[in-house]
Amino acid sequence: MKTSKNDIISQVCKWSVCFLTISLFLFSCYDRQHAQTSIAYEIYDDERAWMDKFFNDLLFVEGAAYTLFGSKPITEIILSHYTEEELAVFLSGLPKEEQENCFLVENYDLPENWEKWERISSRFLIKKYLLFRSHFDEDGKASFVYFVDILKTASVIESNYELFRRTVGFDFHPLEVTLDMPSKDSTFWKNVRASKESALLWGLLFGFGRVNSYAFHWKYFDCPESCKKLIEALPIRFSNPPPRGQVQISLKNLRLPSFASFIDEDKMITRYEGERKKIQKIYQQKDCLDLTLEKLTH
C-alpha cells in the first residue's frame, strides 16, 4: 500500500499538533506556583525538604523503619509539645537516675513536621499501613502517633486471641479491630488501654517478644507475694542503652527498638540487629523520601 505525499503531510501535522498540546500541558503543569518535583507523589518544591526530614526522623530516630521493613508490628512515637523552658523544668524534676538516662536528639523537629504531614497526608494512598495520631496526654504536652503494619498486627492479635478476648470482654475479628485503631470511639482499643494487662498487650504489639512482655508485666504489674523473690532476681537489661546528652541519630547509627530484655541470649535483640543491617542496606545511597513513599503506597 503506497503512502501519498498528502498523507505524510497530514500525519506530520497531526503529530505536530499532538506534540504541541502535550508540550503546552507540561509547561502549564511546570509553571505552577510550586512546581512538582515528583509527579507520582504530588510533592512540590517547598515540601520536599521538610518531608525528607519528617521521614528521616520517623524512620531512623523513632525506629519506624523496623515496622516498614522489619518484623515490628507497631511503632509508637511520642511527640513532645513542651517549650524549651518547660522541657528543662520537666527534666530537672525527674529522679537523678532517670535524668541520667535522658538524651536529646539534635535538630529534631518531628512534632512541627507532623502538623504539616497531617495537612497533606490525604494525597498519599497508604495501603498496608496505618499512620495516625491517636490522642494527647492529659496536660496536652505530648501526643501519641502510631505506625502500624496492618497484617502483622492482626496476626499478633490472632496468635494471642484468648488473651485479648479476656481483656476486652467480647469476640472480635483481628483484622477488623486493627483497621479500627485510628477510631477514637473504638471500644476494643479503649479496653486495651484501660486494662491492667495493658503493658503486656502493648509489649506483644510493639514486637518486644512474648517472654519479655510477660516478664515485664509480672515484674511491674502482676506479681504475687510468693513470686516476688524470683521476679526481683530476674536479670534485666535494655536492648538499646540510651546515649548521654545531645546526640545525632540517622540511618548510619540507627538504634535498635528499645525494650527491657530478660533473656541472656535474647533472640529478639538478635533479630533486630539483623533487621538493622537490612534496613541500612536498603536505604544506602537511596533517596529516603521516594523510597519510603514507594513502599508505603504499593
3-state secondary structure 159-193: HCHHHHHHHHCCCCCHHHHHHCCCCCCCHHHHHHH
Cα-based distances in Å from 278 to 151, 284, 297: 21, 10, 20
Asked if residue 20 is part of any domain, the answer here is no
The number of folded domains in the chain is: 1
Q: Which helix (H) or strand (E) element contains residue 59?
A: none
Cell of 287: 533517596
- Domain span including residue 139: 33-297
Asked if residue 16 is part of any domain, the answer here is no
Asked if residue 174 is part of any domain, the answer here is yes
Give the pLDDT confidence score for residue 98 in this predicted structure.
65
Give the pLDDT confidence score for residue 207 in this predicted structure.
98
Asked if residue 28 is part of any domain, the answer here is no
The CA distance from 128 to 57, in Å, is 21
The per-residue pLDDT for range 91-117, each reduced to its tens digit, is: 777 777 566 666 767 778 999 999 999
Q: What is the mean pLDDT of residues 223-246?
A: 82
Q: Tell me, rounded to whole angstroms, the distance of Cα 276 from its chain centroid.
A: 15
Q: What is the mean pLDDT of residues 72-84?
A: 92
Asked if residue 5 is part of any domain, the answer here is no
Asked if residue 243 is part of any domain, the answer here is yes
Asked if residue 8 is part of any domain, the answer here is no
Beta-carbon neighbour count of residue 88 at 10 Å? 11
The per-residue pLDDT for range 17-68, each reduced to its tens digit, is: 343 333 433 334 434 444 444 445 678 889 999 999 999 999 999 999 999 9
The residue assigned the cell 505524510 is 8
The per-residue pLDDT for range 147-195, each reduced to its tens digit, is: 999 999 999 999 999 999 999 999 999 999 999 999 999 999 999 999 9
Asked if residue 9 is part of any domain, the answer here is no
